[in-house]
Amino acid sequence: MTLKNATKYSEDLSSERIGPGFRRRLKVGIRGFKTSATRRSQRVLAALLTVCLTPAAQAQGVGSLPMTYSGRLTESSGAPKDGPVAIEATFWTAEIDGTQLGQSFDFASVILNQGVFSLYFPFMATQVQDIFRDGTEPVFIEISSGGKTYPRQKFNYIPLAMRVPVDNKSVGFDVTSGKLGISGVKDAASGSVLVSNGAGGVKWDNLSSSNLTAKTEAGAAPVADQVLTYRSGKWVAASLPPAAASGNYLTGLTGDIVATGPGTGTATLATVATPGTATKVTFDAQGRVRSGTSLVAA
């Protein structure tokens, strides 16, 4: 029997429409009705309490996630409770017993409108973390007022309006700023890209050589000494083509020639002088002949 129906029931009892037989039956059961009125009222109060969770319209500071909770308080008779009243709100892991989540919130003077109240919670990001955790587990709110503790109600909310459930691998919730971000490295250098960290998450990388991979043109894995080259419209791993066995490679020379490494080779010098025999030559520090002249008898 709801509170509304119980009120109508009592009104009908005092009307002239009730017959004598019904009045006698009523007297037999009226005592039981009175002794259970308090328990019924408590159940009715549980049905009347409603949850309304929305981001508050007030200006929010950094890491602030304010919310409101609304409900209705009534007397044991079903009449709306008069205000202002003091209210304490706590959050729990279960409807009965369980563990308290976070701190208690005290409201010294709450205005009631036909018993309806509205509580403003100036949550900070750290408090949201303590109470709602990762957003996947149920949370129950308990209201106490005037020495009476009302049945707990499940605190339902729209996740995107408050706290997005996260896996703490790819994305995470910053309990200091109250913002959603990428897990791991918070700052990335210019030109960095997101890559897998190999453990189900992501990380920033500056395209280091350890994260560069390429297949051959045929789709096979690369082998040692292959390089990245562009072929057939894509970048592939391939070996450099061998140098030709013959050809002109030295087209100009300035300074000294220094050759190192295995193997042999031939360097052909360009013609820069008239061939002949000279009796006097000059040479530099490297032993190279710079010029030659013939001696003339005195």
276-to-254, 268, 281, 284 alpha-carbon distances in Å? 25, 19, 12, 20
Residues of the chain with pLDDT under 50: 1-62, 160
Strands 234-238 and 67-72 turn out to be unpaired
Alpha carbons 163 and 125: distance in angstroms, whole number: 10
Q: Which domains does the chain have, with CATH numbers?
A: 3-35 (no CATH), 49-162 (2.60.40)
Amino acid residing at 59: A
Q: Which two tokens stand for residue 240?
A: 């450099």
Phi/psi at 116 (5° precision): -85, 130
3-state secondary structure of 144: strand
Looking at residue 47, its pLDDT comes to 37
Q: Which position has the token pair 């995107």?
A: 160
3-state secondary structure of 252: coil
Looking at residue 191, its pLDDT comes to 72
Looking at residue 255, its pLDDT comes to 65
Looking at residue 19, its pLDDT comes to 43
Looking at residue 5, its pLDDT comes to 40
Alpha carbons 83 and 116: distance in angstroms, whole number: 10
Closest C-alpha to 236, from 258, 249, 220 = 220
CB 8 within 8 A of CB 1: no
Looking at residue 142, its pLDDT comes to 96
What is the model's pTM? 0.41
Q: Which two tokens stand for residue 201?
A: 């998450």
